[in-house]
A and B are shown apart, each in its own frame.
Chain A
């Protein structure tokens, strides 16, 4: 599914990630843990094609740069930490979910939106709501639904539950666990919390302050 070979990222002469390598098979999930500033989210941004890097990122065996942008966007999608910042405040839920379908010129929009809402456990009448009318957990469900609109194989999850209350966090983790098995999704998950990572991922890479992977923990946990 995804292979990183000596991935390094430097911005403004400052090295954020230093020679990170790992492999993820289809359906396999990997968690990146480590302190703030260790480069976890930077790795996610590199895989999403949002920043420049050196080394190699292979998506389904093909270098990231060789994928046409829209084709790549169908394969992987990102869920950010803060659902407040990830949704346009003046777009309704239906408009937010239609956005990827419009960009990719896909038909059956109403049906696809309804299917995505059902998949994340939201009622269909939420479509007319705006982000400020939803709870934090509902907003994060909308963000996850939007990430699922194009049926991706890989979700990049950047601290998807850390802005949420404990009970809402537990619900979202249940949802992510269910989606993983029902859709055969792979997750590349960034989290501070080891228990959250072990719940969703079989593999773990621990990053240190210098942006280097700790290879001792680079292996199967279960």
Chain B
């Protein structure tokens, strides 16, 4: 098992941002975590990477990453997991890329064995992008450049936190196709964190639906939802009215 988290909690004072969530993902597997703003889905992703900062407190009955118990892991052990075992892709490349460093230097900073040009080719970007700064890229190019950095270290799992919500629909579709292509080529697992239940059902065979920090339902993508909140999320997806 790549990730095995049982009864995972993240507390900020009296508030439980993540409340007793169980999650497991095999190598090459795909799982989506769906919920609205404040449901705890991004905090869950951060907890799986040891990125919850104080005053947040993470606790769990079990938290294993590639078979290693991470419950009392030292910062250096988390550092070893981040990037190499788990790569994190966030919503908006503008906040993830260093604005005063060229894309090529940022990729080279990962100390990956792959040349920068090959990293860019992996995400369908031309070698010329290496000389550009983040503000010189479109939103879609920025997101690809960031994905190139994440993939440079060949992680076993990609946590994609709203990877397409800052992009317009055609670019979002291209980005998801690119992620799927890279996943298949590398046998990489995907944990997709999204508010878009339609995207989650199209991309992953299994979903966890979160509300107020709790996993209210775990279901197969094609299964009929039982929880009223899951049903409401599905009903709220806009459909063509013509």
**A contact residues vs B (CB 8 Å cutoff):** 35-36, 136, 165-170, 173, 192-196, 198-199, 221-222
Distance (whole angstroms) from the CB of A69 to the closest CB of chain B: 33
Q: Which residues in B have their C-beta under 8 angstroms from that of A193?
A: 169, 238
* Interface contact B37-A136, CB-CB below 8 Å: yes
Closest 5 CB pairs of A and B: A195-B238, A170-B236, A165-B36, A166-B236, A198-B241
- Provide a sorted-by-A list of 20 A–B residue pairs whose CB atoms are within 8 angstroms: A35-B170, A36-B138, A165-B37, A166-B195, A166-B236, A166-B237, A167-B36, A167-B232, A168-B36, A192-B168, A192-B169, A193-B169, A193-B238, A195-B238, A195-B239, A195-B240, A195-B241, A196-B238, A199-B238, A221-B242
Task: Please name the residue on chain B nearest to A171 by beta carbon.
Answer: B236
Q: Which residues in A have their C-beta under 8 angstroms from that of B170?
A: 35
**Distance in angstroms between the alpha carbons of A169 and B236 in the assembled complex:** 8
Distance (whole angstroms) from the CB of B83 to the closest CB of chain A: 30
**Distance in angstroms between the alpha carbons of A167 and B195 in the assembled complex:** 10
Q: Which residues in A have their C-beta under 8 angstroms from that of B237?
A: 166
Q: Identify whether the interface residues of B are mostly helix, strand, loop, or mixed.
A: loop
**B contact residues vs A (CB 8 Å cutoff):** 36-37, 138-139, 168-171, 195-197, 232-233, 235-242
Q: Which residues in A have their C-beta under 8 angstroms from that of B138?
A: 36
**Distance in angstroms between the alpha carbons of A192 and B238 in the assembled complex:** 12
Q: Which residues in B have their C-beta under 8 angstroms from that of A166?
A: 36, 195-197, 233, 236-237
Task: Please name the residue on chain A nearest to B34 by beta carbon.
Answer: A166
Task: Please name the residue on chain A nearest to B39 by beta carbon.
Answer: A165
Task: Please name the residue on chain A nearest to B229 by beta carbon.
Answer: A167
* Interface contact B139-A36, CB-CB below 8 Å: yes
Distance (whole angstroms) from the CB of A128 to the closest CB of chain B: 23
Among B36, B139, B232, max chain A CB count under 10 A is at: B36
Instruction: Out of B36, B168, B196, B241, name the residue touching A36 (CB < 8 Å).
Output: B168
Q: Which residues in B have their C-beta under 8 angstroms from that of A222?
A: 241-242
Q: Which residues in A have their C-beta under 8 angstroms from that of B241?
A: 195, 198-199, 222
* Interface contact B195-A165, CB-CB below 8 Å: yes
Q: Which residues in B have their C-beta under 8 angstroms from that of A173?
A: 238
19 more A-B residue pairs beyond the given contacts A170-B238, A194-B240, with a C-beta to C-beta distance below 8 A: A35-B168, A35-B171, A36-B139, A36-B171, A136-B37, A165-B37, A165-B195, A166-B195, A166-B196, A166-B197, A167-B232, A167-B236, A170-B235, A192-B169, A195-B239, A198-B240, A199-B238, A199-B241, A221-B242
**Distance in angstroms between the alpha carbons of A199 and B197 in the assembled complex:** 20
Q: Which residues in A have their C-beta under 8 angstroms from that of B171?
A: 35-36
Task: Please name the residue on chain B nearest to A194 by beta carbon.
Answer: B240
Q: Which residues in B have their C-beta under 8 angstroms from that of A136?
A: 37
Q: Which residues in B have their C-beta under 8 angstroms from that of A195?
A: 238-241
Q: Which residues in A have their C-beta under 8 angstroms from that of B242?
A: 198, 221-222
Q: Which residues in B have their C-beta under 8 angstroms from that of A167?
A: 36, 232-233, 236
**Distance in angstroms between the alpha carbons of A195 and B169 in the assembled complex:** 12
Task: Please name the residue on chain A nearest to B240 by beta carbon.
Answer: A195
